[in-house]
Amino acid sequence: MNSRKLLVVSTLLFLFNFWQHPLLVSSENVNLDFPVFSFRNFTILGDSYLRNGVFGLTRELEVPTSSSGCVIYNHPIEFFDRETNITASFSTRFSFSIGNVNPSSFGDGLTFFISPNNQTVGNAGGYLGLVNSSQLTKNRFTAIEFDTRQDLHFNDPDDNHVGLDINSLISIKTANPTLQSVNLKSGNLITAWIDYMNEKKKLDVFLSYSSFKPEKPLLNVNVDLSGYLNEFMYVGFSASTEGSTELHYIENWSFQTMGFHPVRPRIHPHNVSDSSVPHTPPTPVSDSGNKNHKRIRLGLGVGFPAFFCSVLVVFGWISFKKWRESRTEKCLKAELVTGPRQYSYKEIKSATRGFHSSRIVGHGAFGTVYKAFFTDLGTISAVKRSKHAHEGKTEFLAELSIIACLRHKNLVPLQGWCVEKGELLLVYEFMPHGSLDSLLYSDSEHGNPLQWSYRYNIAVGLASVLTYLHQECEQQVIHRDVKTSNIMLDANYNARLGDFGLARIMDHGKSPVSTLTAGTMGYLAPEYLQYGKATEKTDVFSYGVVILELASGRRPIERETGSQKMVNLVDWAWMLHSEGKIIEAADKNMNGEYDEKEMKKLLLIGLSCANPDSMERPSMRAVLQILNNEAEPMVVPKAKPTLTFSNSLPLSIDDIVLDCEDIVIPESQFEIRPE
């Protein structure tokens, strides 16, 4: 019996030890291979683009220009395992070409980079799309540069070199590829291999015109990157030009991490041997009662510990499963919300001085917007705070899930989010010039009308981002609330579209889904008001109204001076067009300081987009081409088309919600929001 008890105890201790120290599963190695590229797996920033499965990183123009762009793999890659304290080794292979339509106009090159950030694109010129000229030390990165211009400011040795850059464009070490008969500017397809071996603390770069890896590296650097590779990092490519016609293409890419291995549990067995346990031979007993008692004792001695062991195993398995699910959830969280960070409520409350009224910079249907100073980060942000946490949850999740996956230079960058203390909070990059409606109307009333060059650029930027949402995303995004108060202006007066609380994702080519009509009166397309079906053409209509506002300086619905009559902007502009006086719709506050040809073009584009017949409205891509002088303007009929509907408006006043907090001046301009 003693040996049996000891066996049970040792088994329990073993199981308890296993429960306390379940099998540890270390990080998994990553293996990526993209012989061709698609929008599904990559984010494009700046001037980069995708064409026929190949990424172009800068503008493709025949005239010298300044341009920068980058392409980033959507999902963060794990480079460091906290549990095993292992930093991964990595190896990457990609093919690129640097060409030029003008052989005398080269510069500035491209890079392969690893960065904790996936939202910013650097400046053109010698900054290679990696850093901003005004904040050279802000961006963190490890990069291999393929530089085609000598920039003495960054100690470049020549105009044809490969270098390792860490948090600075002054390379740690460089090498000239002509030593291996490779010219970066040849326009030929070049294959690069970059290998980092963490155990040896060594990085090698190989270059070749062929697909066969050379025996000797072009660049060999003894460097320890473990201090620069965080747990999760983003990988991508960037490039830039400055007054040149250089072209940068990435045709394929593969990437893998190595060095992560499973770690076995450390089991501490209790050294119990047969010699340490006294063995008492059984004594024959003929009494049947004693036999029964012995059977009972034997059953209890074996059955109860077995049952207890089973319970321990079950609890151990549940604990292990929860631990594994928790780890998986963290990884998924990092993968799904790739860019925005999760702020604590304490951070945001401190940054807004406890949501003090002096920090309020605007109001919207979602709630109140505050200016926030994050002193530890040295940044200024805009925090959008839901006025009703429960009622606003749907819009909050919509905005977070949609905009977190979008990357475009004309979108308001989402920096982070917070769900604590019953609050729903979104943190955006602060836009110093506020919303378009405030500059278009408030400043004009004070004698400071928005300059024409800015207005035209805003029209182009807004057309560009709507083209991206409608046609270039993996899934089509319908904004449903395009209006001047949702268009922010950055430091250079570039348009940044925001407020995705009403946005909807659709698969390309699928029929629109009927929903309760939502948006702002004056911007809503007639068919959307009638049937509640949002399509890209409903956004086009809203865009047309915004363009007419830009050109005329008038609101979508205004009270006529000296009377109670309400005037619809589209009707008013079309009346002038029918009389051959469309140019008279130009904003009088500008005192004629505009390009008349461009003004007329903008007004006619506004009418084309605001056509009551959705089938006659142009696509946003067509609008962008017209604005960029790549296509002829559409012919706009002199008389405004009329539409009739077979049934009455499906909405009653009880079916809609009026949110007057978002109204600036006109009493008739109200929002329709789903309950």
What lies within 8 Å, CB to CB, of 406 at 6+ separation is: 468, 469, 473, 477
Q: What is the mean pLDDT of the chain?
A: 79
DSSP class per residue in 474-487: SSEEE-S---GGGE
Mean pLDDT within 458-487: 88
Q: What is the pLDDT of residue 453?
A: 92
Domains of the chain: which residue ranges?
Answer: 31-258, 341-429, 436-672
Mean pLDDT within 94-101: 91
| Architecture of the domain delimited by 436-672 | Orthogonal Bundle (1.10)
d(CA 232, CA 197): 18
DSSP classification of residue 499: -
3-class secondary-structure state, position 597 = helix
List pLDDT tens digits, range 347-395: 999 999 999 888 888 776 567 889 999 877 778 899 988 765 555 566 6
| Contact call for residues 140 and 167 (beta carbons, < 8 A) | yes
Mean pLDDT within 575-596: 93
First vs last C-alpha separation in the chain: 72
| Contact call for residues 410 and 620 (beta carbons, < 8 A) | no
Residue 52 has pLDDT above 50, yes or no: yes
User: Pick the residue with more confidence: 170 or 392?
Assistant: 170
d(CA 181, CA 279): 82
Identify the CA nearest to 150 among candidates 166, 168, 126, 178. Answer: 126
List pLDDT tens digits, range 415-440: 888 888 878 888 988 888 888 988 88
Q: Quick one: tokens of 564?
A: 């109670």
Task: Bin 204: left if φ > 0, else alpha if -120 < ψ < 50, else beta.
Answer: beta
Q: Quick one: tokens of 47?
A: 């001037």
Residue 527 has pLDDT above 90, yes or no: no
Identify the CA nearest to 46 among candidates 125, 116, 146, 99. Answer: 125
Q: What is the pLDDT of residue 143?
A: 96
Residue 309 has pLDDT above 50, yes or no: yes
Per-residue exposure over 220-252, b if at least 16 CB sit within 10 Å of its own CB, e if not = ebebebeebbeebbbbbbbbbbbebbbbbbbbb
User: Pick the residue with more confidence: 245 or 519?
Assistant: 245
Q: What is the pLDDT of residue 286?
A: 43
Identify the CA nearest to 141 among candidates 162, 112, 163, 161. Answer: 112
d(CA 20, CA 62): 67
β-pair type (86-87, 557-559): unpaired
Please indicate if the annotation marks 510 as binding a ligand: no
Q: What is the pLDDT of residue 481?
A: 85
d(CA 539, CA 624): 14
Q: What is the pLDDT of residue 12?
A: 43
Mean pLDDT within 40-56: 88
Q: Which amino acid is at 658?
A: L
| Maximum separation of any 2 CA atoms in the chain, in Å | 123
Identify the CA nearest to 503 among candidates 531, 530, 538, 453. Answer: 538
User: Pick the residue with more confidence: 44 or 667?
Assistant: 44
Mean pLDDT within 246-263: 86
DSSP classification of residue 439: I
Q: What is the pLDDT of residue 125?
A: 81
List pLDDT tens digits, range 258-272: 988 654 444 433 333
Mean pLDDT within 453-465: 95
User: Pick the residue with more confidence: 500 or 4?
Assistant: 500
User: Pick the residue with more confidence: 34 or 476?
Assistant: 34
Among residues 481, 499, 587, 662, which one is catalytic?
Answer: 481
| Architecture of the domain delimited by 341-429 | 2-Layer Sandwich (3.30)
User: Pick the residue with more confidence: 133 or 150?
Assistant: 150
Residue 397 has pLDDT above 70, yes or no: no
Q: Quick one: tokens of 579?
A: 């009389």
Q: Which amino acid is at 181?
A: S
Give the pLDDT band (50/70/90) at residue 398. Answer: low
Mean pLDDT within 465-488: 86
d(CA 639, CA 643): 13
Q: How many CB atoms lie within 10 A of CB 521?
A: 17
Torsion of CA 110, 113, 115, 119, to 10 degrees: 40
Q: What is the pLDDT of residue 312?
A: 76
d(CA 309, CA 34): 50
d(CA 204, CA 629): 47
Mean pLDDT within 489-494: 89
User: Pick the residue with more confidence: 261 or 246?
Assistant: 246
For residue 481, indicate whether it is catalytic.
yes
Mean pLDDT within 221-235: 93
User: Pick the residue with more confidence: 40 or 308?
Assistant: 40
Per-residue exposure over 9-43, b if at least 16 CB sit within 10 Å of its own CB, e if not = eeeeebbebbbeeeeeebbeebeeebeebeeeebb
What lies within 8 Å, CB to CB, of 344 at 6+ separation is: 418, 420
List pLDDT tens digits, range 543-576: 999 999 999 999 998 877 777 788 899 999 999 9
Q: What is the pLDDT of residue 270?
A: 38
Contacts of range 555-564, beta carbons closer than 8 Å, 24 or more positions apart = 555/441, 555/522, 555/665, 555/666, 555/669, 556/521, 556/522, 556/523, 556/669, 557/521, 557/522, 557/666, 557/668, 557/669, 558/666, 559/666, 559/667, 559/668
What lies within 8 Å, CB to CB, of 490 at 6+ separation is: 431, 432, 433, 496
d(CA 51, CA 488): 30
3-class secondary-structure state, position 74 = coil
Q: Which amino acid is at 29?
A: N
Q: What is the pLDDT of residue 438?
A: 84
List pLDDT tens digits, range 620-649: 999 999 999 988 888 899 999 887 554 444
Q: Cα–Cα distances in Å, from 313 out to 268, 272, 308?
A: 17, 22, 9
Task: Bin 393: left if φ > 0, else alpha if -120 < ψ < 50, else beta.
Answer: alpha
CATH class of 31-258: mainly beta
d(CA 397, CA 156): 47
- Tell me the percentage of the chain whose pLDDT exceeds 90: 39
Q: How many helices (DSSP H) and strands (DSSP E) are in the chain?
A: 12, 32
Q: What is the pLDDT of residue 377?
A: 76
d(CA 164, CA 195): 12
Q: Which amino acid is at 294?
A: K
What lies within 8 Å, CB to CB, of 554 at 6+ separation is: 548, 569, 572, 587
pTM over 0.85: no
| Omega before 108 within 30 of 0, i.e. cis | yes
What lies within 8 Å, CB to CB, of 226 at 6+ separation is: 80, 87, 198
| Contact call for residues 341 and 415 (beta carbons, < 8 A) | yes
| Contact call for residues 98 and 110 (beta carbons, < 8 A) | yes
The three-state DSSP-derived secondary structure of 177-241 is HHHHCCCCCCCCCEEEEEEEECCCCEEEEEEECCCCCCCCCCEEEECCCCCCCCCEEEEEEEEEE
